[in-house]
Structure 1
Amino acid sequence: MSQFQIPAFLNVLVGNDLKGFWVKRSTYEEQPVVRFQYQTLIIAVTSTSGDYVAWSTFPNFNNMQGAHLRIPSVSVREEDQNQDGKLDRLKFRLDLPLRPEEQVYSIQLLLTFSYKLFRMSTVVMQTLAFVQHSSSVPGSQLFIIGDLRLQQRIPLPHRGLHTVYNVSVIDGASPFASTYDLANIIGSYQDRNLTTVLSCPNPVWTVGRPAGSPFQINAEVRYPIEVISYRPGFWEMIKNAWIQYVSVLLIFLWVFNRIQTFVFQNQVLPTLPIPLKPHYS
C-alpha cells in the first residue's frame, strides 16, 4: 500500500520539514580569539623496548621523570596574517636533546590554548591540541600542520556568559602521577561538551638523524573561522515562524480565491436563490 505524502509546502505548517515551523537550532560564523598558553607536555619513545624521554612545563611532572627527563629548546611565534587584530596561527618548534644511542620512534605532544567567542554568547575556556605519531623507522624530525577546530556536543545559548570550562586542562599544582597521565587527561577532556581538536594534521616524518643532533618537532596550528551552533532566542524564533506563516498564508489565499472563482463561474455546486424579505421602516 502506498503511503500518503504531505506536500512539501504543507510541511512548513505542521513542522515536518528540515527545520520545522519553530527554528530550534541555528548557526553563525566567528573567528575565535585563541592564544597559546605556553603549556606543553611531550613524551618520546626512544627504543623498541619502550624506553622513553619526557618533559613538560609543569615542574611536578618533571620531578617524577628522573633519568627520563630531557629539557628541550622551545621557540613559539603567533601570527596575525590578515592584520584584523585576531591571531591566525601558532608556529611551534621544539628541539629535544638525545643521547647517541637513543632514537625516536613515537611522539606524543600536548599543547594548551585559551579560546574565546564573543559574537552571540560569550565563551571563555581552556582547550588543548594533541599530536600523536609513531613509526617503525626512527626519525629525526616531525612536521605537522593542522586546524584547531571547535567541537560541540550541544548548541550554545544565544546570549550569556559561558565559563564552565575556563579551568586548566592539566592541574599543574597536583603532585600525583595520575594527573599527568595522557589517558586520564584526554579522557577527562573528551567528557566536555565543548572541546577543540587538531584537524587534518598531515604529519611528515623525516628519518636519518645525524649523531648528536636533537629530535625536532615543527608544528603549525591554524585558528580558522568556525561555524557555531546555537539555540535562537524567543524573538528570533517568532520572526522565522512569522515569515513562514505569511509566505504559506499568501499561497493558500491565492489558491482558495481561484477555487472560489471557479466554483461560482462554472456553477459546480447547485444553488437556490433565496428571496430577501422586504424591510419596513
Structure 2
Amino acid sequence: MAFYEVYSHPALIRYKTSVCTKATLFLAIVLCLTYIPPLLVAYRSQGFWIKRSTYEEQPVVRFQYQTLLVAATSTRGDYVAWSTFPHLNNMLGNNLRIPAVSVREEDQNQDGKLDLLLFNLQLPLKPEEQVYSIQLLITFSYQLFRMSTVVMQSLAFVQHSSSVPGARLFISGDLRLQQRTPLPHRGLYNIYNVSVIDGSSPFASAYDLDSIIRSYQERNLTTVLSCPMPVWTVGRAAGSPFQLNAEIRYPMEIISYRPGFWETIKFAWIQYVSVLLIFLWVFERIQRFVFQNQVLTTVPIPVGKPHLS
C-alpha cells in the first residue's frame, strides 16, 4: 500500500540549561557578536549618521522694484547714475539721469510661481556722453516653503565693461541660490529678511556698491546671477538712449538642509538592519549546529510532541 504526505509541521525543540554553564556563556557571546558588529560595520563604512540632505524646490521670487544703476561715461572716471532711493538721487546732482524702465514677470508654466523677470531700461545721455561700463543692482524677495520656511531679501548684480562705447547691453541668466551652511529641516528662517540696501539712510556710504556687496557676501544664504550671457552692442546713434535689457530666470533649486531626528534614525536603521540580517543568518546556523550536535551539554525538550493513538 502506497503512502503519501498529507500534512507536515516543524518540530520545536527547546534546549535548556542552568545559568552558570558553558552553554549560557556561549549564548551571551553569540548575542554580542550578532548585534554589535553590524553596528560597527555600518558606522565605519561612512555615512551612518546622515548630516546633510537635499531636496528640490522652485522658490517664490518677487522683484522688489529697488534698483541702483551706475554707468561710466568716459575713461576718465565720469559717470551717471540713478536709483529708486530718493536720498541717493538727491546726492547725485548733475550725475543723475532718470531712465525709462519697464518690468514684467512671467509664469511660463502656469504653476502659480513666477519664472522670469524681463527688465528693460533706457538711459538718456547727453550728445557727448558714451557708455563704457554698466553696474546694475536689483533686489528680490526670496521664499522657500517645502521644509523650513525661508524668507529673505536678496539681490542680483549685473556688471559689464568694454573699451568700446556701447549702445545696448543684453543680459540673460539664472538667479541661483548659494548656501554656505545647510538650512534647518523645519521652522522659520528669516534672519536675512532685511533690506539689502538701506534706502532710508541719508548718508552716501549706505549706497556704496563696495560696501553693499561686501556686506551681502558675508551672509550664509545669498543669490547670484549665474551664467549671464552679455551681448554688448556698439554704434549708438546721437541723441538715442543707452538700452539695458535683462532676462533673469527663477529656476528650480536643490536645497541643502540638516535632517531631523526621525529622518536620521530611519537612514541609520536601514544600514544597520541590512548588515544585521547577514549576521543573524550566520549565527543562527552556528547555534543550530552547536545545540543539535550537543557540542555544549544542554537538555533538549520537545514541545508539542504529538500523541499516537
TM-score, length of structure 2 as denominator length: 0.80
1:5 is matched with none
SS at structure 2 position matched to 1:184: helix
1:249 is matched with 276
SS at structure 2 position matched to 1:48: coil
Indicate yes or no: 2:180 matched with 1:153. yes
The offset of 1:50, in angstroms, is 1.1
Give the one of 150, 153, 157 matched to 1:123.
150
Does structure 1 conserve the Cα–Cα contact (< 8 Å) formed by 2:115 and 2:250?
yes
1:79-102: CA deviation from partner (whole Å, max 9, x where unpaired):
000000000010000000001111
Q: How many positions carry a matched residue from both structures? A: 262
Does structure 2 conserve the Cα–Cα contact (< 8 Å) formed by 1:12 and 1:21?
no
1:204 is matched with 231
CA distance in 2, matches of 1:206, 1:10: 64
Give the one of 200, 205, 210 matched to 1:183.
210
Give the one of 104, 126, 135 matched to 1:77.
104
The offset of 1:263, in angstroms, is 9.8
What's the C-alpha RMSD, in Å, of the aligned pairs?
A: 2.2
CA distance in 2, matches of 1:272, 1:250: 25
Structure with the larger RCO, 1 or 2 (CA within 8 Å, 6+ apart): 2
- Residue 29 to residue 272, structure 1, CA distance change in 2 (3 Å): closer
SS at structure 1 position matched to 2:211: helix
CA distance in 1, matches of 2:260, 2:162: 50
The offset of 1:194, in angstroms, is 0.6
Give the one of 42, 49, 57 matched to 1:13.
42
SS at structure 2 position matched to 1:65: helix
Does structure 2 conserve the Cα–Cα contact (< 8 Å) formed by 1:12 and 1:244?
no
Unmatched 5+ residue regions in structure 2?
1-37, 300-309
Give the one of 232, 238, 251 matched to 1:224.
251
Unmatched 5+ residue regions in structure 1?
1-8, 277-281
1:232-257: CA deviation from partner (whole Å, max 9, x where unpaired):
11111111111111111112333455
Residue 164 of structure 1 aligns to which amino acid in structure 2?
I
Residue 116 of structure 1 aligns to which amino acid in structure 2?
Q
Indicate yes or no: 2:57 matched with 1:30. yes
1:250-281: CA deviation from partner (whole Å, max 9, x where unpaired):
123334557778999xx9xxx978698xxxxx
SS at structure 2 position matched to 1:60: helix
Give the one of 71, 76, 81 matched to 1:49.
76
Indicate yes or no: 2:190 matched with 1:167. no
Give the one of 89, 100, 117 matched to 1:62.
89
Residue 226 of structure 2 aligns to which amino acid in structure 1?
S
2:163 is matched with 136
Residue 43 of structure 2 aligns to which amino acid in structure 1?
V
CA distance in 2, matches of 1:255, 1:143: 68
SS at structure 1 position matched to 2:48: coil
Rg comparison, structure with higher value: 2
Percent same amino acid among aligned pairs?
79
Residue 81 of structure 1 aligns to which amino acid in structure 2?
Q
1:88 is matched with 115
CA distance in 1, matches of 2:266, 2:181: 23
Does structure 2 conserve the Cα–Cα contact (< 8 Å) formed by 1:34 and 1:113?
yes
CA distance in 2, matches of 1:132, 1:221: 14
Which 4+ residue blocks in structure 1 deviate beyond 3 angstroms?
9-12, 254-264, 271-276
TM-score, length of structure 1 as denominator length: 0.87
CA distance in 2, matches of 1:230, 1:187: 25
